[in-house]
Amino acid sequence: MEKIVIIGEEPLQGTIEISGSKNASLPLMAASILTDETIVLKNIPNLADIHTMASVLESLGVNCNKSDLINKNIIQLNYHGSDKALAEYDLVRKMRASILVLGPLLARKRKATVSMPGGCAIGARPVNIHVDALAKLGGEFNLEKGYIKCEAKSGLKGAKIELPMISVGATENIIMAASLAKGETEISNIATEPEIIDLIDCLKSMGAQIEVQSDRRVLIQGVESLNGTTHSVIPDRIEAGTYIIAGVITKGELQIKNVNFDHIANLLSVFENLELNITRENNNLIVKESSVSKNISLDTKEYPGFPTDLQAQIMVLLSLSKNASTIRENIFENRFMHVPELNRMGADININGSQATINPCNGFSGAQVMATDLRASVSLVLASLIAKGETTINRVYHLDRGYENLENKLAGCGANIKRIQ
């Protein structure tokens, strides 16, 4: 099993370019099932999750041409109409986003069998929201031996759907399915993350009739078929936030390129309240070492609130403050698993239910630590960059799911970081 070893206290100096968004890429790839024509996705990150989704799609009859993925960040997808509508356990168990093939399969094949998904163990994230919404479009469902089996013999038909809670995955699944349903679909209480808007923009370029309302509603007029398209994936806002924090806590100066300021407006507002040394230059950010003297209280919320995917990373920053801060986790019930590992490195973080209190600490020290999920693993990287001595991070396959070329990007700016067996 691979490990990452970091010797801390090296100043970071240089430029880091933000990759395409993983969370935008996965539903865009699933959308390839909706058309017989080729979809070309540009600015797609070369990540383990991308390869996992490609494997799922290939098992369903999608030709995934990844020859330009490593050097040019381009993938071409073409669904050739296979009769297979089964997403098997061995593939789906690796990543929860595999559930995103359910809606497109039901819309195109009028049937689908998809294994219950796996992925990071950070919360239940039940699939019943997806299933209940698709049932209102005409799908008939049952659960057999760990598989979701569904059928829509007469095809999908438009309906009014109100999601019981804001769910990114369910919103994406239903929008894709409704694009080919007969008649009009109105979905309310949708998630409005930039990744969803990116999916909608791509679907519209494929010929979908979708109109986003300002009150978390979307109207969709179903069409008979969709065409191929070429689409450039948006920058990864979570990766941007992660490297901004890296620049703030290390002794140096980072230029972070390819940032969409609108997508991280809430995060930038938090940094502004903390009076951090960050300046904007075109679509780039200049990030310098900053001292943190203020305390804040954060609540993770659905977009445009503070993202749960940056909760672990900002804990490292807040640990360096002169005053205690609090974070309440409102999205996932099991997303503080990184706290014991950060405390092993010198943090002073207390958990009480869904709230974490981050007390000032005397800095971080190198240690043996273990990653428990994607964002937890990168919080350990951040702590290691400023820790005294050597840190070994185990189970780093989590990092490979969401951060493209992390070691190279950090080493290129002066970090003492290497991957070992």
Instruction: State the Cα torsion 53-58-62-65 to the nearest 10°.
Output: 80
C-alpha separations of 78 from 31, 109, 113 in Å: 10, 15, 21
Q: How far apart are CA 148 and CA 57, in angstroms?
A: 17
C-alpha separations of 174 from 50, 131, 185 in Å: 21, 9, 9
Q: Residue with structure tokens 């990744």? A: 195
Instruction: Give which of 321, 339, 324 is closest to 375, Cα–Cα.
Output: 339
CA angle (212 as vertex; 32, 178 as ends), nearest 5: 45
Instruction: Give which of 2, 9, 3, 1 is closest to 384, Cα–Cα.
Output: 9
Catalytic residue of the set 64, 120, 150, 413? 120
Q: How far apart are CA 101 and CA 40, in angstroms?
A: 18
Q: How far apart are CA 265 and CA 253, in angstroms?
A: 21
Contact 358, 319 (CB under 8 A): yes
What are the two backbone dihedrals, phi and then psi, of residue 148, each rounded to the nearest 5 degrees?
-90, 115
Instruction: Give which of 15, 24, 17 is closest to 44, Cα–Cα.
Output: 24
Q: Residue with structure tokens 């691979």? A: 2
- What type of residue sits at position 35? T
Does 120 participate in catalysis according to the annotation?
Answer: yes
The catalytic site residues sit at 120
